[in-house]
Chain A
């Protein structure tokens, strides 16, 4: 192997892996049990898991049909629609949080109506956490499912149509099962992204223990007062991320092996 490629590649690996190793090496392993047993930690972890799962479910309900429209329909302005939908992928999450505030805040376009007529306030609630996470994470699911739909052979849908299946039946009984692996991978990606969400959450939902303080927020807060606690919490998030990678391993490795 040529050195001009090998050396930067090795540096790259070290650059990516060393911080994670540092996390493991510097972890206060003896104190980690009591650290994680703290009620505040359990609270943040539970809130994170619940809100990320709810955000993923919401993304599935809205994102899978959206991916279908992008991949299969012939509506006008489809490419513009796709660009709009994927903006949150590149938007700084803090900006997303501000934007959500302008829509759903008490003085927001929709938020004012909700507040005045239904007496519902969204910002700084657990609902706001789920909304912020969905806003940031759903594009991952949409892109993943749209890719799977494009890769799936649309002629199976033709075959279903000649067998008397309307488009909804075809979607349920043929298309969705065909792209199920893509939907699953998209959901896992979406969930992992939602779990790590920080910027949009702290902007739109705030940082209140028990209602809006998710794990990343807790880590950030702990780093300022109790670094050991921050490391312990980070380890938990690292473990969850590695677990996610493990779930996706077969799909990604399987795909690269097939190429």
Chain B
């Protein structure tokens, strides 16, 4: 393992206690809501924040061990990319990228040459003489990536590297970041609150909420089988905990759901809002999953209207604008919701 850490930090009312391991060539995404302690963990890994306990090992060497070992930030072999790039405003772009090489003893000419080679790699050839203030947001973040990677660090830390960019720039910079991370031989840790960043860039995801890891796995596993409401919302699912017996799940909040596969014991039921249908009256035939609910709120969501439903089984339904108009629904209005058992996934809790 190139990075092996157990981080314990108390920050105000937030108690952070997180284990992370990242192998060489691996990209780990730390996904979580704002204030979950993600950036705190990253700052501890970088040596910018002294933790209250635990252990941090980078590249086989222990850099922090509960007070016994403490290697300061500037002596750890790592590169870091910050949310708002933090390029030094008084230095040219080339000097910014060469900064890390110069502080580590490289001579001016080779440092500049290496910096320029990296600026070429990130598509900033010819912009090296500019000041950071003369770059666009995307260009500045590319320069920041070059600055972090130029010394070939064993560990790369990315703190919300795309969240300060506008939507279109984010798309292109994300694609480039993906390419550079694929070529990168060291361990990378990406902190983000955007599931798309995590899914697109990382080989493994840990979800951190309230300072704890609540779920870990590949992006596909996390997206398909969320284990907390936060993750479920991020990946667009409604999560219902319950107890399964055969193809029926007794929900914790009351009510039952028929599911497509047999299961037993404590489970999660995940429902995709697009597979929920709404009817003004009880639908004909005998679907197994049909509930009388009330409309709690309705918000436009792309080309559909997202309807949050309250009642025995709190669901969310995405319906087209046309059908929403035909239903003539006002908040609080009764509505029947139905979902096919085959469209409901179930997995152990």
Task: Write the residues of chain A forming the contact surface with B, with a CB cutoff of 8 angstroms.
Answer: 153, 155-156, 158-166, 169-170, 173-174, 177-178, 180
Given A158-B46, A178-B88, list of 10 further CB < 8 A pairs? A155-B82, A160-B103, A161-B47, A161-B48, A162-B78, A164-B100, A165-B74, A169-B103, A174-B88, A178-B90
Determine if B74 and A156 form an interchain contact, defined as CB atoms under 8 angstroms apart: no
CB of B87 to closest CB in A, whole Å? 8
Q: Which residues of A contact B91 (CB under 8 A)?
A: 177
30 CB < 8 A contacts A-B: A155-B86, A156-B86, A156-B88, A158-B46, A158-B48, A158-B82, A159-B88, A160-B74, A160-B99, A161-B72, A161-B73, A161-B74, A162-B48, A162-B76, A162-B157, A163-B103, A163-B147, A163-B151, A164-B74, A164-B75, A164-B100, A164-B103, A164-B151, A165-B99, A165-B103, A166-B72, A166-B74, A169-B103, A173-B103, A177-B90
Task: Say if the beta carbon of B80 comes within 8 Å of chain A.
Answer: yes
Task: Let me know if A159 and B82 touch, CB within 8 A.
Answer: yes
Among B75, B86, B157, the most chain A Cβ lie within 10 Å of the Cβ of B86
Number of A-B contacts (CB under 8 A): 67
Residue of B nearest to A178 (CB): B90
Contacts of A180 in B (CB 8 A): 90
Which residue numbers of B lie inside 8 Å of A, CB to CB?
Answer: 43, 46-48, 72-76, 78-80, 82, 86, 88-91, 99-100, 103-104, 147-148, 151, 157
Cβ-closest chain A residue relative to B77: A164
Chain B residues with CB below 8 A from A174, complex form: 88
By a CB distance below 8 angstroms, the chain A residues around B88 are: 156, 159-160, 174, 177-178
Beta-carbon contact of A162 and B73 below 8 Å: yes
Residues of B within 8 A of A156 (CB): 86, 88
Given A162-B73, A164-B100: A178 and B89 interface contact (C-beta under 8 Å): yes
Inter-chain contacts of A173 with B (CB < 8 A) = 99, 103
Cα distance, A103 to B229, chains bound together (Å): 70
Closest 3 CB pairs of A and B: A163-B100, A161-B73, A162-B80
Query: Are B80 and A159 touching (Cβ within 8 A)?
Result: yes
CB neighbours of A164 from chain B (8 A): 74-75, 100, 103-104, 151
A residues near B100, Cβ cutoff 8 Å: 163-164
A162 to B85, CA, bound (A): 13
**Cα of A165 to Cα of B73 in the assembled complex, Å:** 9
A162 and B79 within 8 A (CB): yes
Contacts of A162 in B (CB 8 A): 46-48, 73-74, 76, 78-80, 148, 157
With CB as the reference atom, state the residue of chain A lying closest to B78. Answer: A162
Closest-CB distance, A158 to chain B (whole angstroms): 5
CB neighbours (8 Å) of B72 from chain A are 161, 166
B47 touches A163 (CB 8 A): no
Q: State the Cβ distance, A209 to closest chain B Cβ, in Å.
A: 46
CA distance A178 to B91 in the complex (A): 10
Q: In the assembled complex, which residues on chain B have CB atoms less than 8 Å from the CB atom of A155?
A: 82, 86
Docked-complex contact B73 and A159, CB < 8 angstroms? no
A72 to B73, CA, bound (A): 17
- Look across to chain A and name the residue whose beta carbon is closest to the beta carbon of B49: A158
Chain A residues within an 8 Å CB radius of B46: 158, 161-162
B residues less than 8 Å from A178 (CB atoms): 88-90
Residues A159 and B151 in contact in the complex (CB < 8 Å), given A164-B103, A164-B104 = no
Residues of A close to B147: CB separation below 8 A: 163
Complex: chain A residue closest to B76, CB-CB: A162
Query: In the bound complex, what is the Cα–Cα distance between A162 and B204 (angstroms)?
Result: 24
A165 vs B104: C-alpha distance when bound (angstroms): 8
State A208–B80 Cα separation when bound (angstroms).
61
Question: In the bound complex, what is the Cα–Cα distance between A164 and B77 (angstroms)?
Answer: 8
Q: Within the complex, what minimum Cβ distance (angstroms) separates A74 from chain B? A: 11
Residues in A whose Cβ lies below 8 Å from that of B48? 158, 161-162
Complex Cα distance, B72 from A166, in Å, reads 9
Distance of A57 Cα from B293 Cα, bound (Å):
78
Complex CA gap A158/B299 in Å reads: 42
CB contacts (< 8 Å) of A165 on chain B: these are 74, 99, 103
